[in-house]
């Protein structure tokens, strides 16, 4: 069964995810850093460092949201970063952020579907995604299209939540993620479903070796998984 934010609605996952992010866009950045105690910033930095030796000049940031991962990728000194997202609300916040910081000449933010990317084959040196692939309606389709737009020899670097397995961190994590986080998220975001959907979508996501198998099935090779912070999240790498 597909996990969706608004179970009472008949619309598909893609439409519901877009609606959810539109609803929480104004508070998203604050909640992201607050609920993760700022660790998400360190995770992004670590993921981007994995591309340092490749020096990609043209980067696609899928499910860019408000553009935090795209901003982190500026450390690679690329010529162009294109951020794509299905939520106009998130992009609107992101565009204001880019303009305010003076990054809008390098980072372009576009409305788009991650599973139907409007780019030619072999366009980008690297594709990056932070906390976005578990929101794909069709995971294999999204990853296959990601592979399509990467140049031969290019890489995908994917940061995503995973499930800790070791005692006692597994138990502490589950309590925080399922009992505390949804309550705080609901109060601040004013969206009853968004932060209930988060742990549910993480629970349903095929993390670790299972995700590497999906990456390989969709055309990636030399795949790797790097666990972060006791397994709370993972970085996945795949080459075309």
User: Does the pLDDT value for residue 96 go beyond 80?
Assistant: yes
Cα 141 from Cα 117, distance rounded (Å): 11
Cα 98 from Cα 111, distance rounded (Å): 15
Structure-block tokens of residue 191? 């969206």
Q: Evaluate the omega torsion of the peptide bond into residue 168 and state whether it is cis, within 30 degrees of 0.
A: yes
Non-local CB neighbours of 211 within 8 Å, separated by 6+ positions: 160, 205, 225, 234, 236
For residue range 132-152, what is the model confidence (pLDDT) as tens digits? Answer: 999 999 999 999 999 999 999
pLDDT value for 32: 81
Structure-block tokens of residue 163? 């499930």
Non-local CB neighbours of 140 within 8 Å, separated by 6+ positions: 214, 217, 218
For residue range 203-223, what is the model confidence (pLDDT) as tens digits? Answer: 999 999 999 999 999 999 999
User: What single DSSP character describes residue 62?
Assistant: E
Whether the model pTM is above 0.85: yes
């Amino acid at each position: 069964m597909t996990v969706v934010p608004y179970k009472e609605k008949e619309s598909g996952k893609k439409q519901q995810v877009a609606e959810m992010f539109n609803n929480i866009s104004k508070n998203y950045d604050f909640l992201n850093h607050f609920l993760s105690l700022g660790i998400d910033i360190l995770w992004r930095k670590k993921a981007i460092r994995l591309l340092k030796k490749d020096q990609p000049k043209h980067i696609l940031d899928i499910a860019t949201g408000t553009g935090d991962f795209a901003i982190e990728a500026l450390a690679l000194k690329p010529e162009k970063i294109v951020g794509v997202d299905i939520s106009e609300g998130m992009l609107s916040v992101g565009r204001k952020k880019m303009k305010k910081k003076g990054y809008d000449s390098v980072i372009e933010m576009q409305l788009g579907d991650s599973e139907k990317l409007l780019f030619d084959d072999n366009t980008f040196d690297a594709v990056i995604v932070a906390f976005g692939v578990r929101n794909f309606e069709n995971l294999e389709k999204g990853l296959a299209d990601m592979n399509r737009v990467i140049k031969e020899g290019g890489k995908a670097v994917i940061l995503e939540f995973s499930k800790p397995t070791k005692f006692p961190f597994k138990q502490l994590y589950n309590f925080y993620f399922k009992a505390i986080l949804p309550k705080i998220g609901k109060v601040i975001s004013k969206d009853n479903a968004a932060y209930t959907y988060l742990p549910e979508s993480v629970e349903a996501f095929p993390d670790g070796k299972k995700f590497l198998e999906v990456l390989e099935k969709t055309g990636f090779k030399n795949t790797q998984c790097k666990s972060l912070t006791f397994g709370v999240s993972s970085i996945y790498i795949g080459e075309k």
